Amino acid sequence: MKIFAAPSLLACDIMNLASEIRRAEAAGADILHLDIMDGVYVPNMSFGFGFVKAVSSFSKLPADVHMMTVCPGKYIDSLKDAGAWGVTVHHDIAPRDEIIKILSDIRKNGMRASVALRPAFPASDIEPFLPYIDMALVMTVEPGFGGQRFMPDMLEKISEIRRMAPSLDIQVDGGITCETASLCAAAGANVFVAGTSLFKSDDMALETAKMKKAAEDARKY
């Protein structure tokens, strides 16, 4: 599995967005991770579709949008128009059939579809969605805020999903550093969302390279 570094723009200096994106590109980022929060599903609010459009227009890197919202299905057209490359939804916001429809709509609109699991939900919850997704996101912190401490008990969840889906991209998000990326890669993850550890580092290029190497060295898949 190819290793991908996905800096989270939630941790960037938003007042200097263009230079922060350029910094991420120069540092070796593969994907830009954007969190959309509605203040309902999680107790915080963040970017909107205008922000996604600005990022996707400015950068050639894929814009991976994590929808921490209660009704992501309403916004598939808006996400497509904004230039989203991939869209992740949480499986607990609607009944299974509705989630499958949302995932199918994402794919029909030419975007990658992903399902996210909060820490409280088991790996088995992802199984019904495997035919409809290109990636699974294992939240390694509670969603909604950056800078949280990594939850090591999520490692077994990653391993279980990898056993279920040997060729699926598995993304991790929350408290990702060189050390935790190594642990997650050994468990089966290959897409690493990192905010604070990259954007707040003294040398983003060095930190990105170290994180990717740690993951490469540890991976078993």
Residues with active-site annotation: 35, 173
Could you tell me which residues come within 8 angstroms of residue 10 by beta carbon, excluding any fewer than 6 positions away?
A: 33, 34, 35, 46, 146, 195
Strand partners, 67: 36, 89
Give me the DSSP letters along 23-40: HHHHTT-S-EEEEEEBSS
Nearest to 182 by CA among 190, 128, 32: 190
Give me the DSSP letters along 47-107: --HHHHHHHHHH-SS-EEEEEESS-GGGGHHHHHHHT-SEEEEEGGGS-HHHHHHHHHHHH
Distance CA 21, CA 14 (A): 10
Q: φ and ψ at 215, to 5 degrees?
A: -70, -45
Could you tell me which residues come within 8 angstroms of residue 131 by beta carbon, excluding any fewer than 6 positions away?
A: none
